[in-house]
A = this chain, B = another copy of it.
């Protein structure tokens, strides 16, 4: 049975894109997720509290959470200041971000992709010096709302660069839900050819309904690592009512039906999704949360 490594991103990417919830709730959600059998959790980000107030209490939340030794926890950082905070908090798996689209990168951090890549080279060195691993998340890998389809060769070139700079892992972010099976084949196919042994994780949004079709396409290309967000927590920054992160329950439900091993207890995961739904006070988009699994437990 093939093992699939799901990284649960609800506590970080999910809650960061919802109205702020109290630290107590964040700790409860982290603790519930740590007991689902999930193998990886993106716990918090260390970003500027004025830019992202939802994560202002990251250090406190992380300090109070009950760590499960069977789970790999990670944190996202935007720069060296964030990296120092994450390291001080005890994280040893750290993610940094760059956008494949120059326009998107400039709008986010007022720098070109090339300038950000220079920064990232320094960040990777800083993290390695501190004994932590560094994952580079390449956002807008499957399309940019400003530039449209980013050339797959450009995405592959960014991978070449960060691998040369020592990145331990690479993730492709489907930042605004533009991923499609065609796009997955083009981008992942090219990068897989050039870096067959590079740990590669895919992060899909279900904005246009394609998330599970994209994951199915990626599985056939040999990808075994995916991000997903409990309940589909995370909404969508630009379209009210639209869906952001693919719901972890939907991913797990399909993968288990296909005979893949995620380690996750779907029943416990659904309980965590109900907890998350109560915290944000709105109906989350997860179909499996609404309708239950196709077969009773």
Contact = CB atoms under 8 A, between A and B. Distances in A.
B258 A181 contact: yes
Main secondary structure of the interface of A (DSSP, over half): loop
A242 B253 CA distance: 16
A199 B282 CA distance: 43
Interface of A: 143, 148-149, 177-178, 180-183, 206-213, 215-217, 236, 238-239, 241-243, 246-247, 250, 253-254, 257-259, 283, 286-288, 290-295
B258 A180 contact: yes
Contacts of A148: 295
Given A208-B250, A250-B208, A182 B258 contact: yes
Contacts of A286: 209
Given A181-B257, A243-B290, 4 more contacts: A209-B253, A209-B287, A210-B254, A216-B217
Contacts of A294: 143, 177-178, 180, 208
Q: In the complex, which of the residues A183, A257, A259 has the most CB atoms of chain B within 10 Å of its own CB atom?
A: A257
Nearest to A259: B182
Contact of A287 (B207, B213, B253, B292): B207
13 contacts: A149-B295, A180-B294, A181-B254, A182-B258, A208-B287, A209-B250, A209-B288, A210-B250, A213-B213, A213-B215, A213-B254, A242-B291, A243-B287
A290 B241 contact: yes
Q: In the complex, which of the residues A177, A211, A254 has the most CB atoms of chain B within 10 Å of its own CB atom?
A: A254
Given A208-B288, A241-B283, A257 B215 contact: no
